[in-house]
Structure 1
Amino acid sequence: MPGTKQFTIGSGQENHWVYRIYVSWPQGEPPADGFPVIYVLDANSVIGTMIEAVRLQSGKQRGSGPSMAVVGIGYETDKAFSTERFTDYSLPMPVEELPPYSRGGEWPRQGGADAFLRFIEERLKPLIARMFPVNVREQAIFGHSLGGLFALHALFTRTDAFQTYIAGSPSIDWYKRLILDEERLWRTSLGNDKKLNARLLVTAGEMERDHPTRINDNAKELVERLKPHMDSGLHVEYREFEGENHISVLPVLISRAVRFFKEGLE
């Protein structure tokens, strides 16, 4: 794909992992303030879909909106999903409070979300800013499932890291006690006349309504709790995609995520 490259970078964290980074930036001159950037989790599975969605929704087509750069964060594997994500995207929930691990055996180490967020903020973002002009006031993060949980964690604990947060089918139920505590503390902080510049899109597939972890209900309830805070500068939406399940929802979610980010830029 034109203007696209990939490379590896060490985590610089206690896990010593190596990430595979995918970068795609628009052709032509950058805006005066630099390119908007969307950071994409689970890039091994969705980076091609995201890059193509951005390419098709950008440019000179009517209603396409401004161009943006894409930075995908993946792992050193050719599989769609790496087990390392269970550490990087999760909160420090004791494994005895989690359901049986769906792949059998023991759960991977839990609670790496803070370290992973430090990696993004302290190592990856400065590197990307050296590669091409970046608008630090126009950045988004996209995550699905456990990645959606991580997007919520980033919003509640480091709100200024991004301006747009996309949490697709977030895994709230597994980590409900901890993520609700983070949410409550964050909402309390909004009572101190704090003015935000944050947009949040929470989504689910229609066929996930029957999922035992109540993905849709938890997502809708979260949005309803956050709506009263829209006067604080928070824009929040919930979308449910007809006829889609936990995995088939990804292409339509990505398309809507690109539009949602662009709407905040126009």
Structure 2
Amino acid sequence: MMLRAIATVLAMGVALAATAAANAEPLKVVSENPAMPPGYTRLVLHSDRIGRDFAVTVNTPSATVFLPGQKLPAIYALDSGYGLAGPQGALLSNTSAMEPAIIVSVGYLPGQALFRNTDLLHNKTTQDKSPYGGGGAAFEAFLLEDLKPFIEAKYPADPARSVLFGHSFGGLFAANVFADKPDAFYGYIIGSASAWADPALIARVAAAAPKAHGRRIYLTVGEKEGAGKPGGSAQMTDGYNGLLKALKGQPGVILKARIYKGETHLSYYPRLVADGFPAVLPPAMALGAYQAKLPAAIMAKYVGDYRLPDGRTFSISVDKDGFVNGHVSGFPPIGLQQNGPDRFYAAAADANITFDATGATLAGLDGGTMRAERAKTP
């Protein structure tokens, strides 16, 4: 049975926590593990709204956030991200395959994975004579009104650049959130949405799409979903085609859609992360973009020390291979890639550095700026 198979995968991906407890309203931190490995934190959060605990894993990228007010996008992965979305998203972030992002995987404690059948369906339905669903509105409120503010207070997460990622019932939930509040998230990754469980969904998505104001959506299905079960493949593909029709050509939606050839319901999930995350949060520069060595006369314009407002020094140098590097006191050196006249992109800080006659302006792609005045030249 598909639900049992998904529950098994989820149970394997659920994160447990085991140390200090703290309080946060309206969420209570039951336990929290220190980051282990670096950039990886596991929490158990109790929701008074839902009346249950949730396992929440947070993966942070290696990007150095040092500009005042600088933020990073955050991706909220349902179903614990099947245990893959967090580590895989961190790898994509750290290798410049996508814009650096915080990955928040939301799931369940061991033995509680089937609560997803309540939380991820806004309307009640019946399968194999078993009724379930109906908790989607409460879970949506938990996500938007409790968890997002909690994460944004604890991490440098940009409220205006969050992404919702769901697959299967999670894809159905993400589509329902879009239908309810299209601007609730900057982007939506909707994989193999179980639209069959909510007959009114497609019409609601179509009605919401013109109000989406440039939301980015990555919509997918596996070519062989439900293979071996009569009508299974057509059922999932019909849902995909219905959502595609509802979203395609809408002025408020930036849509990418894909049928994964030869893939089943779960088999393409790693590819969904690898393709979907960069689709909604594309990298500032094309992966592997050629970087020409600048003539010495041009590089001499930038080399030297710059004073930051807090007293630190921002140094520009050229390495032995002829490429430009920046170094802020207290942080490791970062490579700079030219992306315009007198402008460079620092992937390790997710920021642009624009030089002028008297100094440089450092600007994070998701907010935050700092002025650096020229101090001296070599």
TM (norm. structure 2) is 0.60
Hey, which of these two has a bigger chunk of helix by percent?
Answer: 1
In the alignment, which residue of structure 2 is the partner of 1:3?
Answer: 39
Shift of 1:127: 1.0
- Out of 84, 87, 100, which is 2:118 matched to? 87
**1:87-126 correspondence to structure 2 within 5 Å:** 87-93=118-124, 95=125, 98-100=126-128, 106-108=130-132, 110-126=133-149
Q: 1:135 corresponds to which letter in structure 2?
A: D
CA RMSD after TM alignment: 2.2
Residue identity in the other structure for 1:72? S
Task: Supply the distance in 1 between the matched residues of 2:262 and 2:59 (Cα, whole angstroms).
Answer: 31
**Residue in 2 aligned with 1:164?**
187
Paired residues, number: 243
Within 2, Cα distance between the matches of 1:39 and 1:100?
31
Matched-pair identity in %: 26
1:132 maps to 2:132: no
Alpha carbons 2:122, 2:135 under 8 Å: kept: yes
Larger relative contact order, structure 1 or 2 (CA cutoff 8 Å, min sep 6): 1
Structure 1 residues 114 and 256: alpha-carbon distance in aligned structure 2, compared to 1, 3 A threshold: same
Counterpart AA for 1:107: P
Counterpart of 2:59, as a letter, is S
Q: 1:223 to 1:132 in 2, by over 3 A?
A: same
Q: Decide which of 235, 238, 245 is 1:217's aligned counterpart.
A: 238
- 1:238 CA drift (Å): 1.5
Preserved contact between residue 120 and residue 172 of structure 2 (Cα < 8 Å): yes
Matched, 1:254 2:282: no
| Partners of 1:199 and 1:264 within 8 A in 2 | no
Tell whether the 8 Å contact from 2:256 to 2:279 is kept in structure 1 after alignment.
no
Q: How far is the alpha carbon of 1:83 from its aligned partner?
A: 0.9
**Alignment match of 2:73 (pick from 25, 33, 36):** 36
Matching of residue 206 in structure 1 with residue 206 in structure 2: no
Q: Which residue of 2 aligns with 1:12?
A: 48
Contact persistence 2:59–2:87 (CA under 8 A): no
What secondary structure does 1:165 align onto? strand
2:113 is paired with a residue whose SS is: coil
How high is the TM-score relative to the length of structure 1?
0.83
One-letter code of the match for 2:39? G
- Cα gap change, 1:195 to 1:254, in 2 (>3 Å): closer
Alpha-carbon spacing, 1:37–1:216, altered in 2? closer, same or farther (3 Å): same
Q: Which has the higher strand share?
A: 2
User: In structure 2, what is the Cα distance between the partners aligned to 1:58 and 1:259?
Assistant: 9
Greater C-alpha radius of gyration: 2
| Structure 1: 5+ residue stretches without partners | none
Call closer, same or farther: CA 1:20–1:205 in 2, change over 3 Å: same
2:44–2:54 Cα contact (<8 Å) kept: yes
Unaligned runs of 5+ in 2: 1-36, 286-378
- Please list the CA deviations of residues 213-261 of structure 1 after superposition, one character each: whole Å capped at 9, or x if unmatched: 62112202321232131x2x31112211122111112111111122212
What secondary structure sits across from 1:214 in the alignment?
helix
Task: Give 1:181 deviation, angstroms.
Answer: 4.2
The 2-side partners of 1:253 and 1:123 are apart by 27
Deviation at 1:264, TM superposition (A): 8.0
The CA distance in 2 between the partners of 1:140 and 1:42, in whole Å, is: 15
